[in-house]
Each structure stands twice: as structure tokens, then as C-alpha cells.
Chains A and B, each alone.
Chain A
Amino acid sequence: MPGTNKLRVMLMRIEVRVFSGLEKYLPGVAFGQAFSVELPEGSTPRDLLSRLGIPEEQVFTVLKNGRHLSWDGILQDGDRIGLFPPVGGG
């Protein structure tokens, strides 16, 4: 069925982890615990946050496969995403 096929192509699955207090927005998810999210192709970190219900101003850093991603960066199928509030130390 062409319609279903089309839908499958348009969705992507990304692997998300949240840290340092952001887990409070996701009942049942522990910090560092991987979970997957399906989003339409071409989605950005903003879209991800709104799907997860995490307020944008709580997130300081988005890492995609270990590299920084801007708010308008594009997510891709299979990406590993880490979301962080402001952190520092040393």
C-alpha cells in the first residue's frame, strides 16, 4: 500500500537520553536511560523538546552523536541525542 509506505519513509527513530534533572519532565524515565522517539524526517531539537514536553529554556546543550547541535539542526534516523541543562565543573 503506497500510503503506508510513504508514512514509513517519513518517520525516523532517534535514541534519546536526558540528564541532570531533565528527567523530571519524563515520568518513568531515569537520567541516562535510553529511550526512542519517532519523529517526522527533518525534525529539529525544538520539535523533539516539544514532543517530550521539556521547556526549551531548560535545555542548554543538545549533543547529537557526541557533537553539538544547534536549535535548528536537523535530526537523522538513528541519531543518539543527549539533552542537558547547564552543567560545568572540572
Chain B
Amino acid sequence: MPKILRVNVSTREVKMEEAPEKYLGLGGRALTSQIVFDEVPPTCDPLGEYNKLVIAPGLLSGTSAPSSGRLSVGGKSPLTGTIKEANAGGITSQKLANLDIKAVVLEGKPADDKWYGVKIDKNGAELFDASDLAGKGTYEVTAICRQRFGEKVGVITIGPAGEMLMLAAGVTNNDGEGNSSRYAGRGGLGAVMGSKRIKAIVVDSPTTFDVPVKDPERFKAAARKFSKILLDHPVCGQGLPSYGTNVLMNIINEAGALPVRNFRFGRFEQAANVSGEKLAEVAVARGGKATHACHPGCVMRCSNVYPLPDGKVCAPIEYETAWGFGPNLEIGDLDVVARLNYICNDVGLDTIETACTLGVLMEAGVIPFGDGQAAIAALEEVAKGTALGRIIGSGAAVAGKVFGVTRVPVVKGQGIPAYDPRACKGNGVTYATTPMGADHTAGYAVTANILKVGGFVDPLSKDGQVDLSRNLQIATAAVDATGLCLFVAFAVLDNPDGVPTICEMLNAQYGLSLTPDDVVKLGQSILKVEREFNRLAGFTSKDDRLPEFFYSEPIESHNVKFDVTDEELDSVFNF
């Protein structure tokens, strides 16, 4: 029977419960959002006693379905105040699923200030004293845990930023090589884990792909078919495996939608120097890898392994991170980008939020635009817990207030990622309306706007963007429930067999008879639950808006503003 592991940090009680019937059909984001909705009071203090941190593998995680090992981490976000699901790669999701654990729930508030870890294996779970891990960076924590509990364990951990309850702190877990860089980065969930004083969750499972499947033959056939659907698609089968996600740098730049200098311009002269092509060239020359799988069984392998000049390894550098520390700060040096990325991974900060924050600090003149060394020095303050370090760890909205900057790219308090909402309007609609705060993955309209996947909608015109964002938000919520990597969407959007094959895998695994309509309904119901949580937490349609300057200041690459009206934005959730 699938189980839910509850760790009550008030009582130090660790309990494996049978998962209730009503959660059996849920996984990943569907389950984290439902448990948060059912158990967390929407108005609670995100860092207080009543919030919970919920960690859940997807419905297909732990099977042989390709690219299905994604992990969902949920809770009430200290950064946005909304419900939050942050999604990560890494090896932990498959391990949890193979231990038949549907969710891990951290709850309560510790009475003392000790640090604990949770060890989970096939015999159950127990707390251990983690005082020796406290204060350490995530790479070291992971290395120590691998030494102590075995090379193959998955380690979910937070860095000093999470320990210090910084609002931009993420929760990470490692890849197969032990790199602690697979972040559920967004929304400050690392601070929630820190507020529970759990430094690490070690997951030890002897198997990876052996989750019980009702009809193994049928499952195998469907998984094979899905693999082929992915590999036959030009983006999933060729684009991603060649240069990784940072292959986007040049096309977004050429399209004039690359946010440069804190969202002032749409093109950056040095974009090619921090692009995926350059990354592949340098990584391979230094003995790294241009392509890499973040968990066993991924066929798209979009990740990379980038050795820094000092021998440290950053794996991977993703497009959003390269954008945030590159063009966004007018930095054209990939080694600087990699260093900033590495520090964030180690100290435990969301790279997108931190990049937006550094952009705001540069806007304020605290550090100069383009000055990589100054950015590195500023970021190094975070681990030390200095005043500047704590501001950086608090995210862009707080930094804007502290330094009197009004040009702050956030929605619901969360930093806007790597696509300018004026020149990629579908993503603008998603940023404004997703229950998560500005989030590109929640409804990735770059597909139809710029990549010409799943149709074409002119990125500069507002026509069709609301429908596009709505449909993508629904589909994404459903994909996030399955544990499939969101990148399957490129193929699924273009191939009519895609969604039916996902249904076929779920049906074979669970003995169900889902149709594509049910998948749409699942996506809709997840969004409804999340929206309802936010409504009860005090959010209204006025929160579903972009910052003022996107409406008043045209982006120079195309001379367009964000012009989707409030009424149009308010119609996104008309379903």
C-alpha cells in the first residue's frame, strides 16, 4: 500500500501512514497542492507552526516511463504568500516512489533549535542528529551523507540560506554523480524546510524503476511508444540533447525577447558568449559534458556538466540561470555565470530569484551593471549572513523596497524569468495569472510564441495569448502531476498520440481507464485548488498583474508594450 511519511517536528514523531483513498489518484503537484490545501491554513505564517512542506514523486516516477523522475515540493510560499509547487529533477523522486512513498510531509514547529535529518529506507524512516551538517553548503552536506549512508542515496537538503530562513531559499537534491544542484528552487520552500529545522532528508532505495505496475506488458509497450514520440520530435530528440536548455539564449536574443539590464532591453550583444553553444564548447574542452541526464531514464538529457577554472563543477547551467546572471546583469562571461550559479547551488538559493535581485541591486547602483566580480563578492555575503547577504537572499521585491527601486520585475513577489513579457506576450499572461507568482514553467507560451511548437501565436500581438496560456497552464499542471519532465510537452503538443500515450501508461500502471479529457480535468482541478488556496489567503484579481513599467515602457527591440487588458487577464481561469 502506498504510504505517506509524516515527520512532526514538534513531537519528533515519525509516522508511516497508509495513503488515504482520496490521494491514490494524485501525485506530484496534484498531491502537494491538495495536501497543502487540505492541511495548511491559507492565512498562516509560511515560516510558522501551521505551514507544511510536502514532497511528492509524480504518478509515473519510479517506473520505466522515460523522463518521469521529477519531484514536486510544495507548501505555502514565504516569498509570495501563495500556494507553491516547485519542481526538481535529480534522483530522489524515483527512490521515494520505489519505497512506495507517495509523499513526505514535514509539519509542526520545533521547540528547540537543534538540527535534524530524516533517513528513509525500505525499513521505514527515522530522525537523526544533524548538528554536524548545520551551516554547511549543500555540496558538502550531500558528500557527507553519501559517505555516511552510501554512494547511491538521494539527499534532499537546504543550504545556509534555508537555515537562515531567507525568502529565496530553495530545496535541492542530487544527480547520480552526487552534484547537489537539482533545485526545487522557486518560492522560498528552502526556508520552510529550514523553519522545520530539518537540514537533510536521505533517501536510500535499492531499486529505481521497480514501482508496482498492474499490467507490466501493456505498460512497457506504452513506455516504449512514448520514448519514440519524444525521440522523434525535433526539439526533444535533437535540440535538447545537443545543447541543453541554454540553446535558447541565441534564439530568444534574436527574437528580441531577451531581458537585458533588468528588463530594459530585448537584445544583448554578448549573448552568444553565454549561450548553450559556447557552454558545450567550453564544457567539453575542460573535460565536462555538453549533455547529461538529471535522473536515470531520461531520454532528452538536457543537462550539462560545466567545470569551472578552479576545478569545481557546476552541473548544470540552465538557460534561465545563464540569462539571469548573464544578459540580465549585462555580464557576458560564462565563467562568471557558472560561479554565481555554483554559489547559489551551494548556499541554497533560487538562481532566478537571485538573478532578479542582483539586477535590482545594480539598478540601485549598489553594484555596477556588468561587473561580474562585484556580483560574485555580493553573493558571497549570503553564506556569511551579513545585512547585504540577507537582502540578497530575500528576493527582488524586498531588495527593491530596501533600496528604493521601483523597476522591479516580480509578480506576486516572485522574480520574472528569462522571457520579456512584452515581446513574448503569452508568457506575460502566464507570469501575471499563474497561482505560483511569475513562473515561466507554469504555462510555457514560448513554445507557440517563439519556438513554433504546438502551433504559432504571434508573440508581439495580444491576440490568442489568453487562450494559449490557459491551455498550457492546464496541461502543465497535469504533466506536473505525472512526474514527467515538462519538456515532454514539446513533443506532446505536436503529436496527437502524446496525451493518449501518457493516459495509456497511467492506465496500465494503476488499472484505470483515463481518457485525454480526464487529463484536462485533472489539470483544471489542480489549478482550481491552488486558486482557491490563494483566494482564502487574500489574493484577488489585482494580484494577477504585471509590474507597471511593462505597460508603460515599450521594449526597444520591437517597440511594443504589454497590452493584454485586465479583463482579458481575468478571463484566463474561466473554466
Contact = CB atoms under 8 A, between A and B. Distances in A.
A60 B441 CA distance: 23
B238 A89 contact: no
Contacts of B179: none
A80 B254 CA distance: 9
Contacts of B256: 66
Nearest to A88: B235
The range of chain B's interface size is: 35 or more
Interface in A13-47: 17, 19-21, 30-33
A11 interface: no
Contacts, number: 104
A17 B245 contact: no
Interface string B248-278: 1011001111000000001100011001110
A63 interface: yes
A19 B243 CA distance: 11
Contacts of A89: 239-240, 244-248, 276, 302, 318-319, 487
A74 B257 CA distance: 23
B397 interface: no
Interface in A50-86: 60-61, 63, 66-68, 80, 82, 84-86
B234 interface: yes
A90 interface: yes
Contact of B275 (A32, A66, A80): A32
A85 B238 contact: yes
Given A20-B277, A66-B256, A90-B444, A60 B234 contact: yes
B350 to A, nearest CB: 16
B272 A84 contact: no
Q: What secondary structure prevails in chain A residues at the interface with B?
A: loop
A88 B487 contact: yes
A66 B254 contact: yes
B234 A19 contact: no
A19 B558 contact: no
Contact of B255 (A32, A63, A90): A63
A32 B156 CA distance: 39
Interface in B384-414: none
Nearest 7 A-B pairs (CB), nearest first?
Answer: A89-B245, A32-B272, A86-B234, A88-B235, A66-B256, A82-B254, A87-B239
Interface of B: 234-236, 238-240, 242-248, 250-251, 254-257, 266-267, 271-272, 275-277, 302, 318-320, 423, 440-441, 444, 446-447, 451-453, 456, 460, 486-487, 490, 557-558
8 contacts: A20-B242, A20-B243, A60-B234, A66-B256, A68-B452, A85-B239, A88-B447, A90-B444
Interface of A: 17, 19-21, 30-33, 60-61, 63, 66-68, 80, 82, 84-90
Given A89-B302, A89-B319, 6 more contacts: A19-B254, A31-B250, A61-B452, A85-B238, A90-B446, A90-B487
